[in-house]
Amino acid sequence: MLHVISEPDEDYFGKAEEKKKWLDQYRRRVETFLEQYRRELIAAGFPAEAVKTSSPLRYCPSIASASCRNSTTLNTDPRARAAGVVAQRGVPVR
């Protein structure tokens, strides 16, 4: 599963410390929900070694282009790719 953290523009925060604080907090939230989805997929029968998560920080004028750049790091098992889409849409895995 992939969640690209879109790097905020330089002028979004007044100070570098504010940006770092925001990124740290956001990364923790992302890691928490990715781990929750990972556990749900494992509970649904996916092998633990087949469920990978990634949350890279990227400059993202387009989330689609950022996702494509990360496609080589995702599992190539078609079931894993499908599960990532299902988890992102909030559809229950059966």
Residue 59 within any structural domain of the chain: yes
Mean pLDDT for the stretch of residues 14-37: 94
Residue 94 lies in a domain: no
* pTM, rounded to two decimals: 0.61
Is there a contact between 75 and 81 (Cβ–Cβ < 8 Å)? yes
* CA 87/CA 37 separation, integer angstroms: 7
Domain count across the chain: 1
Q: Does residue 37 contact residue 80 with C-beta atoms inside 8 Å?
A: no
Phi, psi of 77 (to 5 degrees): -65, 120
pLDDT value at 9 more than 60: yes
- Determine the Cα–Cα distance for residues 37 and 35; give it in Å rounded to an integer: 5
Q: Which domain holds residue 18?
A: 5-89
Residue 66: inside a domain, yes or no? yes
First to last CA, the chain: 17
Average of per-residue pLDDT values in the chain: 77
For the ranges 2-6, 10-14, 21-25, 52-56, the lowest mean pLDDT is seen at: 10-14
